[in-house]
Structure 1
Amino acid sequence: MVPATVAAAIQLAMEDFRPRGTKPHRGSDPVEACLYQRQSFDVQAAPSTDGLVLVRFSLSPGACIEEGPVLDMGSTYAVDPRQGRIVAVQPGASQAQAVSFTFPEELPLQGLVRLDGNTAAAIQLALEHFLPWEAPPSAQPACLDRRDSYDVTAAPGPEGVVLVQLTVDVQRCPPDPNESVEATSGKPLQEVVLYAVDVRTQRLLSIGRRFQRHP
């Protein structure tokens, strides 16, 4: 499982690293075109100090390589998911960023999450559909409009499909007792949203919703 704050940090960093809809320039060779694809990069992320999350993108083993070295080997981000902002980026950090934040050589092992490129790309596609960047605030409680309110679980399915499950982090967004409740206990139920994503074509195959008892 990817905790809500870490999932939100990865989404923010990914949107900067490989923005939606970015395409290779005309005349790009296959290696250059491959480097524009989100699924070409594995992701590591871990909580850091002061509520920040470190997110590192690195080229997936064997991806995009034909002959000779591939120069674009990824980046590391320091993200504040509470404020929805990127604090610093390495390489390419400005002098002001370099002074205010020092990146560690290795990401902290405590809470470290590793995602292969296909899984990371599938999660981003599901999250962008579930909470579109351009969507205005909804009529639901404000915490449900926040990207750092949803834990994410992903697993490979058949024939290049990745299943992505989103559940509310009840610590960040407590259930409303007036909403759906379990018939036998009268306790609030937890909504679960499940996406089936085709990573080969980068499209959503299906979206399902169900309710379950809170753990």
Structure 2
Amino acid sequence: MKRGLLPLLCLLSSCALFQKPPRPSHASPEEAAAVEIPLALPLEGRMVVGGVMLRAMNLAMEDYLPWDQKVPAEASPLQQCLHRRESYEVAAAPGPEGIVFVTIIPDASACDIGGPPVLGIGATYAIDVRGWRILSVQQ
């Protein structure tokens, strides 16, 4: 019985290394009751992103800025801003058959810390939408 215990303990302790992505938080019922969702979305400002494009964009963003990446304790305000996904703009376009190109660039207005503009940050991905793989990255 002791022989089987050690591998089991090793297996259980290694499970702690695997984390699931965080689930979104929800507002309280009182706060949710104060928001009225329209029957149809307003046309002004509305964006429609197809499922294939959305999944390609998510795949690229997860590679570029993984959800579990921690901000270093000594990070500057600019570095802290650049560790937030909402600080980026994402564009996607179809490429040759089975490929979607995704570009991730900092939003110029998101990290307005004062000082020179942020240059040399961002990436363009070639995503295989048949096998959901990253084919290439250009930074």
TM-score in terms of structure 1 length: 0.46
CA distance in 1: counterparts of 2:111 and 2:32, whole angstroms: 34
Shift of 1:97: 5.4
| 1:102 matched residue in structure 2 | 36
1:169-208 → structure 2 map (5 Å cutoff): 169-174=107-112, 177=116, 189-208=119-138
Shift of 1:172: 1.1
2:93 pairs with 1:155: yes
| 2:69 matched residue in structure 1 | 135
Shift of 1:203: 1.3
- Unaligned 5+ residue runs, structure 1? 1-18, 21-84, 89-93, 178-186, 210-215
Shift of 1:192: 3.5
Counterpart amino acid of residue 198 in structure 1? D
TM-score in terms of structure 2 length: 0.69
Counterpart amino acid of residue 135 in structure 2? L
Shift of 1:119: 0.4
- Unaligned 5+ residue runs, structure 2? 1-19
Structure that is richer in helix per residue: 2
Structure that is richer in strand per residue: 1
2:52 pairs with 1:118: yes
Counterpart amino acid of residue 100 in structure 1? A
RCO (CA 8 Å, sep 6+): is it higher in 1 or 2?
1
Shift of 1:145: 0.4
Counterpart amino acid of residue 130 in structure 2? R
CA distance in 2: counterparts of 1:142 and 1:188, whole angstroms: 13
Q: What is the aligned-residue identity percentage? A: 40
Runs of 4+ in 1 over 2 A off after TM superposition: 85-88, 94-98, 174-177, 187-192
CA distance in 2: counterparts of 1:150 and 1:188, whole angstroms: 12
1:167 counterpart (99, 105, 110): 105
CA distance in 2: counterparts of 1:146 and 1:95, whole angstroms: 27
CA distance in 2: counterparts of 1:134 and 1:188, whole angstroms: 23
Aligned residues: 113
Secondary structure of the residue that 1:122 maps to in structure 2?
helix
CA distance in 2: counterparts of 1:192 and 1:124, whole angstroms: 15
| 1:63 matched residue in structure 2 | none
Q: 1:162 to 1:121 in 2, by over 3 A?
A: same
Shift of 1:168: 0.7
- Aligned CA-pair RMSD: 2.6
